[in-house]
Structure 1
């Protein structure tokens, strides 16, 4: 965002969409247009602003994603932190503000917050650098998985059935270096059935739950239409995302998650959880940069995209 001129703050207020990936925006912007909500896009890259100047009028909505570094935008999280703090300092309405950024870019922060709120979370060891990786991995039974602390799109998520193969991975050319240098070693959770569930929330309220088929063994669970279809799959028939009607707003976990999101100041999110063979219900990922699957949107009686547009439009009206 370039430095605003002296009259910028007096212009008509709009929803300012702060993002690091324009490919995810079309459905969301189309919904804003359909709802008559004025908006402006701001790429979290190469921007600047005067700290003493008032930000543009309107609502600032953070679409920062933890996977920004994979698209050549390693500094996006710093740009988001600074821009949101600037907006907050000047009293602008912010959706998923600077405090939420910390949860988006750190699974360590997510697990600690979820655990503090009483949720069952996966046993996880955070390893900084690589010197302790092989030794700390031996504290976990096999199989176990790795993932990146600053992740997204399944980055760095791999399953290992023995420690010898893990040692070879750490020492070999295929080792994936995390963007922030933090690798997570985590217990492998065996699902009772081959799917996980993603609960979508807008304005802090439950919209719908999505059943995500994991029978193919993939850890790439991005629901956006712009995400890549697995090699060899037929895009016309490959539909791993479907509405899960048995998970409603009254579901005990959903009720608790709404309370958790409110306490964390998270207004828009997709929270993924797994139901294990031994009866655990474990939330393991809080996505504050959420995308909506087009198949699910068509199937559901309620559109999360429309709900989001209405929510942002209401926030804009209240901020005017």
Structure 2
């Protein structure tokens, strides 16, 4: 036994083996420890051999020829089937380096090092979400001396002050007015505070309440509304708030799933604020606490996570999954190199367009063949078969649109105009009525397909933003 860790790395042949990385002693008085013990209990019930290991107790040697050479407390350990990391925002460099090594060795990580590092920094999280076009509170990175005029102009008062790293509501406070903020800024500057801060617009509609949405494997499995009992602005259950079961509307659920996708999180708690005209993402967690969520929803969270791991273990990719766009390009053109080869062979635009169109038609016919053809004649290992299976089983990461509302509107107008022109063209060319009609219907389906596959609320939010600009 060392530093309170009573778990040793067991080798039970025939069982699925996993590790849970945790960076503290297993003291029941530590807030996160009961959740770790709940994972162990759920693992035993699911016949999973789950060892709780401290990341700093590994011996890591990089450069040896062996594919797997990892030691723990002086003893060699066998490769696990999966690793759950529960270090969250307190993940340090050593743990990240360890996770990167396991990732290169092909071990399934939940969550991976890039995603954990991305959400450990609250500003980086917001930057990624904003780039993907997801709604967040307006945010400023604080610098000294603080430009109070800039803060008042861009954010207004009250204003939320946060440290870049913090958990369970720690490191967050609200300044009610300019005078209070100036006092805080002066205090921090005179004390030569080393911590970095961000300043956020205060979302009044969500005072003292928010929603924690638990996303596992790209699906919402539970949610709770958290409310402050003291009238304060913090709603964290760990700070005395109360949680109640909540059925998130489709727009909120879709927002949480998209946020998890953007941040690359397999398991995450997405905190969402209520806004006057919708919702805003407050932050994301790579190792979300779930004691309050379990009490509110009745869901056995560790069991749900482990069941998802078991059901997807054979489908899991050792490396990061390909983007949906890369999968589609591979299905139609044999990869981006194939697309570039078409461009190299066709110096004229019209010839290039014709070649691309024919490849897209061929890819569409191949997909229909997989849908309509007899199973014995369909090759699931073909380029089309493997691509369709990856898309169907969710083993790709979504390329979410990064265009703003105005760019999306212009894109829709362009697609609509091109669709109408393509529908008219066969008639102008004098083709037979049957052929012209079929081609016209095909061309007009593209604008409707564009609108039907638009991310939830995109066009509606665009219209709302336009009405606000026009003062309606």
Q: TM-score range by the shorter chain?
A: 0.7 to 0.9
Aligned to 1:162: 177
Q: What stretches of structure 1 of length at least 5 have no aligned partner? A: 1-7, 69-75, 231-238
Residue 74 of structure 2 is aligned to residue 77 of structure 1:
no
Shift of 1:288: 1.2
CA distance in 2, matches of 1:134, 1:263: 32
Residue 110 of structure 2 is aligned to residue 95 of structure 1:
yes
Is the 8 Å Cα contact of residues 43 and 306 (structure 2) preserved in structure 1? Answer: yes
Is the 8 Å Cα contact of residues 201 and 269 (structure 1) preserved in structure 2? Answer: yes
Is the 8 Å Cα contact of residues 195 and 215 (structure 1) preserved in structure 2? Answer: no
Counterpart pick for 1:312 among 309, 314, 324: 309
Shift of 1:212: 0.2
Residue 39 of structure 2 is aligned to residue 37 of structure 1:
no
CA distance in 2, matches of 1:201, 1:309: 13
Counterpart pick for 1:290 among 276, 288, 291: 288
Shift of 1:301: 5.6
- Root-mean-square deviation (CA), in Å? 3.3
Aligned to 1:280: 278
Q: Deviations over 1:27-63 (max 9, x none)?
A: 2222222222111112244543112362433212221
TM-score normalised by length of structure 2: 0.54
When residues 167 and 217 of structure 1 are mapped into structure 2, their CA distance, relative to the original with a 3 A threshold, is: same
Shift of 1:318: 6.3
Aligned to 2:261: 262
CA distance in 1, matches of 2:193, 2:168: 13
Is the 8 Å Cα contact of residues 17 and 39 (structure 1) preserved in structure 2? Answer: yes
The secondary structure found in structure 2 opposite 1:191 is helix
Aligned to 1:235: none
Is the 8 Å Cα contact of residues 119 and 286 (structure 2) preserved in structure 1? Answer: yes
Shift of 1:136: 5.0
Q: Deviations over 1:255-297 (max 9, x none)?
A: 2432342343211001011113x22310111111112125x42
- 1:92-241 residue pairs with structure 2 within 5 A? 92-128=107-143, 130-132=144-146, 136-139=150-153, 140-172=155-187, 181-191=195-205, 194-218=208-232, 221-223=235-237, 227=238, 230=240, 240-241=242-243
CA distance in 2, matches of 1:268, 1:298: 19
Aligned to 2:421: none
Counterpart pick for 1:65 among 75, 78, 88: 88
The count of aligned residue pairs is 287
CA distance in 2, matches of 1:61, 1:170: 39
CA distance in 1, matches of 2:300, 2:189: 40
The secondary structure found in structure 2 opposite 1:120 is coil
Shift of 1:218: 4.7
When residues 176 and 279 of structure 1 are mapped into structure 2, their CA distance, relative to the original with a 3 A threshold, is: farther
CA distance in 1, matches of 2:38, 2:190: 35
CA distance in 2, matches of 1:189, 1:155: 19
RCO greater where, 1 or 2, for CA within 8 Å and sep 6 or more? Answer: 1
Q: Deviations over 1:125-177 (max 9, x none)?
A: 0125x433656544431110100111222222111112222222233389999
Q: Which has the larger radius of gyration?
A: 2
Q: What stretches of structure 2 of length at least 5 have no aligned partner? A: 1-8, 71-78, 319-472
Q: Please state which structure has a larger fraction of its residues in strand.
A: 1
Q: Please state which structure has a larger fraction of its residues in helix.
A: 2
CA distance in 1, matches of 2:242, 2:92: 30
Shift of 1:206: 0.7
Shift of 1:200: 0.6
When residues 18 and 176 of structure 1 are mapped into structure 2, their CA distance, relative to the original with a 3 A threshold, is: farther
TM-score normalised by length of structure 1: 0.77
CA distance in 1, matches of 2:235, 2:192: 20
Q: Deviations over 1:206-242 (max 9, x none)?
A: 111101012424566555xxx4x64xxxxxxxx7011
CA distance in 2, matches of 1:187, 1:308: 34
